[in-house]
Amino acid sequence: MTIFIANGRILDPANNRDETAGLFITNGVISPCDNASPANADKIIDASGCWVVPGLIDMHVHFRDPGQTQKENIMTGAMAAAAGGFTSVLCMPNTYPVSDNAEIIKYIKRRSHETGLVKVYACGSVTEGQRGQKLADIEGMRAGGIVAVSEDGKKGGGPKKNNDPAYCGQ
């Protein structure tokens, strides 16, 4: 299938491009118009007044998986990201249990691979349970696939009681 996107403002920083023009997408591959005729396209999209940009990256998402999948999970988060033009996202570690070990990171990677929608990267917690007391196994999480560490989402020194929904029992 060939799609022609017409009249969009093409913003392509990698190629120093900022212009109103058209482009083709043929079987998922983007190419400039050059001498090809838009009449040969299976579908024409008028992008007047719209920006045409490379895939966006959200470096701070909360997919709530594992632990609070009633709020959102990796599949629903990836679907929302893709619908918004995002090709990659970075999940923060304040899940339940906290993303502070290789097993949870591997779970996130496995679930994100199963979605096949966007690249879902995992951010590991700096400390165990986000309690700020003992460093998490950062090297183990790195081997499991994290691309960053953070204490994002930590509230007031971290979970302290067994009845706190963030308490991991560690």
Residue 113 phi/psi, 5-degree rounding, is -65, -35
The DSSP bridge pattern shows strands 17-26 and 2-12 to be antiparallel
In a domain, 161, yes or no: no
In a domain, 128, yes or no: yes
Residue 124 and residue 78 share a domain: yes
The H or E element that residue 151 is part of is: none
Q: What integer pLDDT is reported at residue 38 of this predicted model?
A: 81
pLDDT digits (tens, 9 = 90+) for 96-131: 999 999 999 999 999 999 999 999 999 999 999 999
Residue 99 and residue 39 share a domain: no
Q: What integer pLDDT is reported at residue 134 of this predicted model?
A: 96
Residue ranges of the chain with per-residue pLDDT less than 50 = 157-159, 161-162, 167-170
In a domain, 141, yes or no: yes
- How far is the C-alpha of 99 from the C-alpha of 77, rounded, in Å? 17
Residue 79 and residue 14 share a domain: no
Tell me which amino acid residue 122 is: A
Helix runs in the chain, H state only: 74-83, 102-115, 138-144
The DSSP bridge pattern shows strands 146-150 and 56-61 to be unpaired
The conformational region for residue 32 under phi > 0 = left, psi -120 to 50 = alpha, else beta, is: beta
The structural domain count of the chain equals: 2
Query: Which residues of 2-102 form beta strands (DSSP E)?
Result: 2-12, 17-26, 29-32, 43-46, 51-52, 56-61, 86-91
Residue 85 and residue 42 share a domain: no
In a domain, 157, yes or no: no
| Residue range(s) defining the domain that contains residue 101 | 56-150
Q: What integer pLDDT is reported at residue 71 of this predicted model?
A: 93
pTM for this prediction: 0.76
Q: What integer pLDDT is reported at residue 35 of this predicted model?
A: 64
Residue 84 and residue 140 share a domain: yes
